[in-house]
Structure 1
Amino acid sequence: MIKELFKGKLIIIGLILSFMTGGALYAFLLPNIYKSEVLLAPNSNGNQGGVSGLSSQLGGLASLAGVNIGSAENQKTTLAINIMKSRTFTIEFLNSYDYKAVITSVESWHAKDNQLIFIDDVYDDVSKNWLLDIETGKSKEPTDLEMYESFHDSNFALNEDKESGLISLSISHKSPYVAKTIATEFVSAINSKVREMDIVETTENLTYLQEQLKGIENKELQEVLYELIEQQMQKKMLASSSASYVFKTIDPAYLPEKKSSPKRFLIIFVASMFGAAIGFAIVVLRL
């Protein structure tokens, strides 16, 4: 059998070289992808201290009064993580910065002049318009849902270390500058989103509590309502003054200098091994 394999070496070598060449062409046609990461920690200053202590003391009374006095730190962090993964927040974020074309229609990036090259039959970067499909006459602009799926499949990654509580957010893109910018803006956006939600909630709670206070003469119940009002005012003041409301940045997003993918030599190696396997199979079947 070894003798027959030796006789078929030209077939094996030929297939190895063919698959290696094909793998190399494929690998070097793939654009470089750069990944920028930011390391986050839950902002305990925004959820603990006097406000959190008062919340735990008044939680039951607040429920009886029909008021939601807020979440604990771990609940707030979990909420923020789920919001970051949600369709609504992601679409709102990407559209607010006009990132649809940047996420869905970039073909390559020119490092020399830091210029994005868009797919020329899909998006016109000069006029900033989406082109029409000649056959259907419809715009080639992706839907918001397609943009969301593309972003979460190809650009976005979020990992939480359950032991330390630290969160790693990474953004991948053909441009290292875009990757860094989006990573930074995404953290700012989630902090702003949760902060705005809490400001709206506390404003509504304060309005409700102040209305309830007008019709109550019982001094003990009045004291409870005053404490609830104080707690909500503290929470609102904290939300209004804190930029890093949910997450504080431990290690900010950086400008990646080396590509994270594709692994070109791995692609070539796998293609070569696949060619060798086919070559051996052909020779063995001919025995």
Structure 2
Amino acid sequence: MSKENNSIHPNINSGEITINFGEILRVLKSYYLFIGITAFIFAGIGAIYSLTIPNEFVATVKLLPEMDNRSSGSNLGGLKSIAGLAGVDLGSGLGSDLVKPDIYPNIVQSTPFLLEALQSNIYVQKHKKWLQVYDYLIAYPETPPLQIFSFNQSVQAPKKTTGIQSPKSTISSELIQLNKSQYYAVNNLRRRIKAEFDKKTGVIMISVKMTDPVAAANLTSFTQSYLTKYVISYRMEKVLKELKFLQDRLLDARKSYDNALSRLSTYRDQHRNTFLQVAKDQEKKLQYEVDIAFNLYAGLNTQVTDSKVKVQRETPVFKVLEPAQVPLQKSDPQRTIITLSFLFFGLFLSLIIVFFRSVNLKKLLSQ
């Protein structure tokens, strides 16, 4: 008898669990209309939601910055290659005064740059006029294709309220204090401007996302100009200060030389027919002062010339590989992907509901 039972129910003793796909198909056939309607409703919600998002356009520019190896690579010469074989790194090859390209993304994300970018002008096609970036983000935000809600972004954006204010006497000139509208605009712009550095190719890519294609191209060009000027200013600040110092000292040396030469000429004119030894000694002393002043002036003049050459040599060079262009196609939102995502979510949700409400676990799982 036990053998008969085992032959009729072979899976009872083995403990194996099998899934009854017939039960699954039966439930799907019974509730296919509910599943299809739910997925269709969610797809419609996704399509409507995608239309409430304004179009975004991305403009990019690619730069090739200068990679300077004079200060480290060329001075070490073959010693660096030998040290490399021994596993010792003697430097990355960048000059000590050169801004590393890894820092460029931080520059375009800094608050001083963003505040200056907010004051720059961009051309907006929809309004057919030039606007400041600040006004465009706060007062003239782009509207989506479908406006369901009664409010828009301009209402959401805070007005020019001051917020917490401190007495001017307690704030250092180096500190930045933003009101609420400036804080909103800065954070909005920080999400729109990005810079990336490719360590393999050494290329800097600046991208700007705006709701207007021409505005995106304008702001990309401004960002490129600001970044190059910032790097050049940082790199040349020390060299230009040195040049200014030498030029000031050169003017002082020239005055000292002219005064010493004038004193010598006056003394000679006054003691032209004098044969006293005292007069000759005084003339030698004045001539010595003239020689010292001239040597100082000549030396400083040479240093000024060398410093001017150094300014030209040390000025960083940026090669534009791909200039900024007005984008022809929007980058966001990807309405098809959003709609499909909602559709699959609705499909998944409907299957979960059907499973927990209608599937008989005893029939589905058999042993």
The alignment's TM-score, normalised by the length of structure 1, stands at 0.68
Distance 1:53 1:202 in 2: 15
Sort the Cα spacing of 1:211 and 1:131 in 2 relative to 1 into closer, same or farther, 3 A: closer
Gaps of 5+ in 2: 1-22, 76-93, 122-131, 146-151, 164-178, 254-291, 359-367
Report the alpha carbon displacement of residue 162 of structure 1 after superposing the two structures with TM.
Answer: 0.6
Q: Is 2:325 aligned against 1:254?
A: yes
Aligned match of 1:88: 112
Distance 1:210 1:73 in 2: 22
Cα pair 2:108 2:194 within 8 Å, conserved: no
Aligned match of 2:133: 99
Q: Is 2:99 aligned against 1:75?
A: yes
Which amino acid in structure 1 is aligned with residue 230 of structure 2?
K
Report the alpha carbon displacement of residue 246 of structure 1 after superposing the two structures with TM.
Answer: 4.8
Distance 1:226 1:196 in 2: 25
Aligned partner of 2:217 among 180, 185, 192:
180
Which amino acid in structure 2 is aligned with residue 91 of structure 1?
L
Report the alpha carbon displacement of residue 88 of structure 1 after superposing the two structures with TM.
Answer: 1.9
Sort the Cα spacing of 1:226 and 1:81 in 2 relative to 1 into closer, same or farther, 3 A: farther
- How do 1:49-68 residues align onto structure 2 when only pairs under 5 Å count? 52=70
Aligned match of 2:226: 189
Sort the Cα spacing of 1:262 and 1:80 in 2 relative to 1 into closer, same or farther, 3 A: closer
Sort the Cα spacing of 1:82 and 1:209 in 2 relative to 1 into closer, same or farther, 3 A: farther
Sort the Cα spacing of 1:184 and 1:132 in 2 relative to 1 into closer, same or farther, 3 A: closer
Aligned match of 1:280: 351
Sort the Cα spacing of 1:29 and 1:158 in 2 relative to 1 into closer, same or farther, 3 A: same
Gaps of 5+ in 1: 58-69, 112-117, 124-129
Cα pair 1:105 1:122 within 8 Å, conserved: no
TM-superposition CA deviations, 1:176-234 (whole Å, max 9, x none): 000011101111122223333445433322345578897xx9xxxx9998887555433
Runs of 4+ in 1 over 6 A off after TM superposition: 210-214, 222-228
Cα pair 1:191 1:247 within 8 Å, conserved: yes
Higher relative contact order (CA 8 A, sep 6+): 1
Sort the Cα spacing of 1:223 and 1:198 in 2 relative to 1 into closer, same or farther, 3 A: farther
Aligned partner of 1:6 among 29, 41, 54:
29
Distance 1:77 1:226 in 2: 36
Deviates more, 1:181-190 or 1:100-109: 100-109
Distance 2:31 2:302 in 1: 88
Aligned match of 1:146: 184
Distance 1:161 1:37 in 2: 14
Distance 1:265 1:275 in 2: 15
The secondary structure found in structure 1 opposite 2:141 is strand
The secondary structure found in structure 1 opposite 2:330 is coil
The secondary structure found in structure 1 opposite 2:333 is coil
Sort the Cα spacing of 1:104 and 1:43 in 2 relative to 1 into closer, same or farther, 3 A: farther
Distance 1:235 1:122 in 2: 53
Sort the Cα spacing of 1:34 and 1:208 in 2 relative to 1 into closer, same or farther, 3 A: same
Deviates more, 1:16-25 or 1:187-196: 187-196
Report the alpha carbon displacement of residue 35 of structure 1 after superposing the two structures with TM.
Answer: 0.8
Q: Is 2:241 aligned against 1:204?
A: yes
The alignment's TM-score, normalised by the length of structure 2, stands at 0.55
CA RMSD of aligned residues (A): 4.0
The secondary structure found in structure 1 opposite 2:327 is coil
The secondary structure found in structure 1 opposite 2:186 is helix
Sort the Cα spacing of 1:177 and 1:207 in 2 relative to 1 into closer, same or farther, 3 A: closer
Sort the Cα spacing of 1:169 and 1:231 in 2 relative to 1 into closer, same or farther, 3 A: farther
Aligned length: 241
The secondary structure found in structure 2 opposite 1:249 is strand
TM-superposition CA deviations, 1:266-286 (whole Å, max 9, x none): 001010000011110111111
Aligned match of 2:262: none
Distance 1:120 1:90 in 2: 20
- How do 1:111-260 residues align onto structure 2 when only pairs under 5 Å count? 119=153, 121=155, 142-153=180-191, 155-208=192-245, 230=305, 232-237=307-312, 245-260=316-331
Select the structure of larger CA radius of gyration: 2
Sort the Cα spacing of 1:11 and 1:251 in 2 relative to 1 into closer, same or farther, 3 A: same
Distance 2:195 2:109 in 1: 8
